[in-house]
Amino acid sequence: MTPDDKKKQVALAALETVEMDTIIGIGTGSTANHFIDALAGIKHKIEGTVASSEASAERLRSHGIPVLELNNVNEISVYVDGADESNKHMHLIKGGGGALTREKIVAAASKRFVCIADDSKLVDVLGKFPLPVEVIPMARSYVARELVKLGGKPIWRDNFVTDNGNVILDVHNLEITDPVALENELNAITGVVTNGLFARRGADILMLGSDNGVKVIE
Ligand code: 5RP
């Protein structure tokens, strides 16, 4: 199976985690897109969705799936999203698509976080995938210098502005042995909006598409 076949396989399987007549949080990226397409088949059975990006909101609307404002919603039963890396503790690196801030907000506001990915995303130690950090534009150089002090090599993502009007620094050369500590440390740098470590609020369930079917870690 190709990585995309595995993403499609796991996205379909994630439909089982959807609670009927509730509001579903929707992630961003190619795996989340497969989930949106699958969700279209049961759109009459859910109350609506909250999207983690303009791109996902647009795709949801193109299927006739209602998209609600988070501020108008009391409870999201489950958040379904992909990841760039996960360790076995379900600490994640996210933000390859640049939607990390809204993803983190919707994940925080959801009762359960179901992470869906192809099996290549499961790693022993996080950090081979460059860690995205969303930064207020005027703080870019300052934050980059602080990231270098922490041992990282930040690269300004070319021609990219987030849905929130900010820039992304992709931090290379990190070996993340304590994801919770690093998430806190990065959050404390003035000018950082969000970092792509989802460790304080990691996934509750990890579903991995593979040649041998969908593997579930909980
Ligand atoms: C977007 C994300 C995505 O979940 C992550 O990049 C994985 O993407 P894909 O499903 O395309 O492999 O965090 O900001």
Query: From ligand 1's centre to the CA of 86, what distance in Å?
Result: 12
Do residues 55 and 108 share a domain?
yes
Ligand 1 environment, Cβ below 6 A: 27-32, 81-84, 94-100, 103
pLDDT of residue 133: 98
| Percent residues over pLDDT 90 in the chain | 100
Query: From ligand 1's centre to the CA of 179, what distance in Å?
Result: 18
Phi, psi of 101, deg, nearest 5: -70, -50
Do residues 209 and 118 share a domain?
yes
Domain limits at 112? 3-123+200-217
Query: From ligand 1's centre to the CA of 93, what distance in Å?
Result: 9
pLDDT of residue 177: 96
**By three-state DSSP, how is residue 18 classified?**
coil
Average pLDDT over residues 145-152: 97
Average pLDDT over residues 103-117: 98
Confidence label for 23 from pLDDT (cuts 50, 70 and 90): very high
pLDDT of residue 166: 98
Q: Cα–Cα distance between 146 and 196 in angstroms, integer?
A: 16
Do residues 53 and 119 share a domain?
yes
Q: Which of 4, 7, 28 to mutate to test the pocket of ligand 1 (most atoms within 8 A of CB)?
A: 28
Do residues 107 and 10 share a domain?
yes
**CATH number for the domain harbouring residue 180:** 3.30.70.260
Do residues 206 and 159 share a domain?
no
pLDDT of residue 14: 98
Do residues 166 and 207 share a domain?
no
| % helix, strand, coil for the chain, step of 5 | 35, 30, 35
Do residues 37 and 65 share a domain?
yes
For the chain, what is the domain count? 2
Phi, psi of 204, deg, nearest 5: -95, -30
**CATH number for the domain harbouring residue 118:** 3.40.50.1360
Q: How high does pLDDT run on average in the chain?
A: 98
Do residues 111 and 81 share a domain?
yes
For the record, the structure tokens of 66 come out as 């209602």
pLDDT of residue 218: 93
For the record, the structure tokens of 136 come out as 């207020």
7 CA: nearest ligand 1 atom:
10
Confidence label for 120 from pLDDT (cuts 50, 70 and 90): very high
Do residues 18 and 111 share a domain?
yes
Per-residue model confidence as pLDDT tens digits over 162-172: 999 999 999 99
Do residues 136 and 181 share a domain?
yes
Per-residue model confidence as pLDDT tens digits over 55-106: 999 999 999 999 999 999 999 999 999 999 999 999 999 999 999 999 999 9
